[in-house]
Structure 1
Amino acid sequence: MVGTKRRTTGRISGENVVIEVAWMYYHEGLNQKEIADRLGISRATVVNYLQEARERGFIRITLASSAFTTHRAAVELCEKFGLTSAYVVPDEGADVETAFYRVVRGAAEWLPELLEAGDRLGVAWGRTIYELAEISEETRIDDLTVLQLVGSMATPYGFTAEACSTRLAQRLGARCFNLHAPAVLTNAGLAAALRAEPIIHDQLERLETCNKFLFSVGTCLPDSHVVGSGVATVEDLEWYIGQGATAVLCGRFIDAEGRGIPGPLDERMIGIPLEKLVGLDQGILVTPGTDKVEATLAAIRGGYVSHMVTSLGVAQELLEKG
């Protein structure tokens, strides 16, 4: 510590020296050379210890959310689209994957601030939500419940729908209620019978108690996740596009104004109805890429969004096209 005599790592155990270096660097404001001199080690070793501290989760580095929610583009999004709040991360010079993870990390850091004791958070599915759950820091929000809003399905990304809700609940110290049924059945009669089963019936009723909703809206492009996951076939997608489909929200198709499009999938689906996701306390939309601009506009127009996390590039396109 400040004022102590120089020491060597021989007197500090392996894990303790990592913590010691992190403490001196982040809490006492010593630079790498000063730490190296204090501990009798090289500057390169200090760098390695700091990296190890980050990798082992000893260090949590966050930026104040106000840096992103008061950004000019965030304010303009709220003013133009009537949002309660928006969180905009920089993406200048970033490639698609880098921008994706910046938005996901921003959402993971902001989400705990949006939640309160007693909340019932409905969670959609997809790569964005799964990666958000994976990257979230562990925290605890009293009496928080996480609800899986759509049944299970295959996925090209190597995780299941229930993994999104389960992992996020673990990170937030919340109770988790998953939906133990397929997202889509082969025929309407089978789906109706399954919805009538007492266990599934109770689970579906529980979904309608959610007061906040975390999601990323899907596109109607040929490589849409709704096709890759097996919820819809290419023929289904083409049919819905012919009816004006612009986006996919919790496995349901919506048009450019955010209105649900009744179709052949609805009677075969197991999940929360779209109308139950409008008018909640919060609809938290995470949009990581410009490929989802039109879909995002549809979700906003439909009244599903009160809070939004996105990148500057996406925000600018939304403002231009909205």
Structure 2
Amino acid sequence: MPRPKQEEDLRLLTKVSKLYYEENLTQDEIMERLQLSRSKVSRLLQRARERGIVKITVVSPPGLFPDLEAELENRYHLSEAIVVEARDPQSQSLLSRELGIAAANYLLRTLQDNDVIGISWGTTLSYMVAALQPRPTPGAHVVQIIGGLGPPESEVHATDLCRRLAQLLQCRLTLLPAPGIVDHVEVKEAILSDSHVRHAFNLFSQINVAYVGIGAPTPDSVIMRDGSILSWDMLDDLLKKGAVGDIALRFFDAWGQAIISEVDQRVIGITLEQLRQIKRVVGVAGGPQKIDVIRGALRGRLINVLITDHITASQLVR
């Protein structure tokens, strides 16, 4: 008595699945062995997965967080999230170094010959540049998107970061020859009249990828360390207006909206609205003090790629 068709279908589904997944035969080999067409083999394998005969499980190695990355991407509509393990959550310096290494790997993986790369400033981006391996990309172009902040000899200084990056990529470089913040709006207007400064500003619209740090306005942050960037009165005024953080010294609130302040009027660099026009903005930040700041940047669509640590990522998806 012939077997029922359903039983025969299940037998064939199971046989093809075992040959392909357990015996590692190719679809062409299965085709020859069972006298099936290649399209039939392909359809059978697809049906086996749909019916639960084949169940594929991806086991993540320790230190990798694909589920967290996917949840961040879905919740905040990110192009990509990269989550690294925070091996010592109490050490912001070590965490910044680990995030910098991850950012360097991302930059090298995604680098295109015609990229116009905007760079802000900060400790984590300095670690990113330090971790980069030389990759000659003569068609690329590095652009400084905020004037110099802090001591010019500092490795976190925007000018130094851009120079080092351009040397590693052996590509074109446009610096922004101006301080990042000045004392008076009149001084800013005079600086903006300089042809070299105007040239850098005109390139902002051509940037297709930007790498930015995300700062938290805390007493121990890099913008407050020596008082040369912001005073305590300025910081207090920004906090009263609802500032939770900044990108390139452009402060924003918990929803990623720009804080209009006297400080903002004296900054020489890219604006948050200009940042939103860039196709790919990579935010590199992590640590307990950065959770609300990163969340604000994500809500305001100021970044669309996030590189952070697994503890911060877990808080962001709660």
1:275 matched to which residue of 2?
Answer: 273
Cα distance change of structure 1 residues 95 and 243 upon mapping to structure 2, 3 Å threshold: closer
Is the 2:144–2:200 Cα contact (8 Å) retained in structure 1? no
2:199 matched to which residue of 1?
Answer: 202
> SS of the residue aligned with 1:179?
coil
In the alignment, residue 209 of structure 2 is paired with which amino acid?
K
- Confirm or deny that 1:221 pairs with 2:211: no
Match of 1:145 among 141, 145, 148: 141
- Confirm or deny that 1:73 pairs with 2:68: yes
> SS of the residue aligned with 1:310?
strand
TM-score normalised according to structure 1 size: 0.74
* Counterparts of 1:293 and 1:87, CA distance in 2: 15
The RMSD of aligned alpha carbons is 2.2
* Counterparts of 1:139 and 1:67, CA distance in 2: 29
* Counterparts of 1:206 and 1:236, CA distance in 2: 30
Cα distance change of structure 1 residues 318 and 305 upon mapping to structure 2, 3 Å threshold: same
> SS of the residue aligned with 1:227?
coil
| Residue-pair matches, total | 255
Quote how far apart the aligned CAs of 1:131 are: 1.4
Match of 1:192 among 189, 193, 202: 189
Is the 1:279–1:303 Cα contact (8 Å) retained in structure 2? no
In the alignment, residue 130 of structure 1 is paired with which amino acid?
S
218-227 or 275-284: bigger deviation = 218-227
Is the 1:244–1:256 Cα contact (8 Å) retained in structure 2? yes
TM-score normalised according to structure 2 size: 0.75
- Confirm or deny that 1:165 pairs with 2:155: no
Cα distance change of structure 1 residues 162 and 294 upon mapping to structure 2, 3 Å threshold: same
Rg bigger for which structure? 2
* 1:193-233 superposed Cα distances (whole Å, 9 cap, x missing partner): 11012222222212332111101100011222222362221
2:86 matched to which residue of 1?
Answer: 91
State how 1:1-322 maps to structure 2 within 5 Å: 71-92=66-87, 95-96=90-91, 97-155=93-151, 158-159=154-155, 160-228=157-225, 230-320=228-318
1:8 matched to which residue of 2?
Answer: none
Question: Once the two structures are aligned, what percentage of the paired residues are identical?
Answer: 24
In the alignment, residue 84 of structure 1 is paired with which amino acid?
S
Is the 1:69–1:85 Cα contact (8 Å) retained in structure 2? no
> SS of the residue aligned with 2:81?
strand
Cα distance change of structure 1 residues 245 and 156 upon mapping to structure 2, 3 Å threshold: farther
* Counterparts of 1:255 and 1:176, CA distance in 2: 32
* Counterparts of 1:177 and 1:154, CA distance in 2: 20
* Counterparts of 2:299 and 2:262, CA distance in 1: 24
* 1:252-296 superposed Cα distances (whole Å, 9 cap, x missing partner): 111111111111122222111221000321010111322211111
2:21 matched to which residue of 1?
Answer: none
Gapped regions of structure 2 (runs ≥ 5) = 1-60
* 1:95-118 superposed Cα distances (whole Å, 9 cap, x missing partner): 524333222111111112222121
In the alignment, residue 73 of structure 1 is paired with which amino acid?
L
In the alignment, residue 82 of structure 1 is paired with which amino acid?
H
In the alignment, residue 91 of structure 1 is paired with which amino acid?
A
Is the 1:127–1:157 Cα contact (8 Å) retained in structure 2? no
Cα distance change of structure 1 residues 99 and 265 upon mapping to structure 2, 3 Å threshold: closer
* Counterparts of 1:119 and 1:68, CA distance in 2: 31
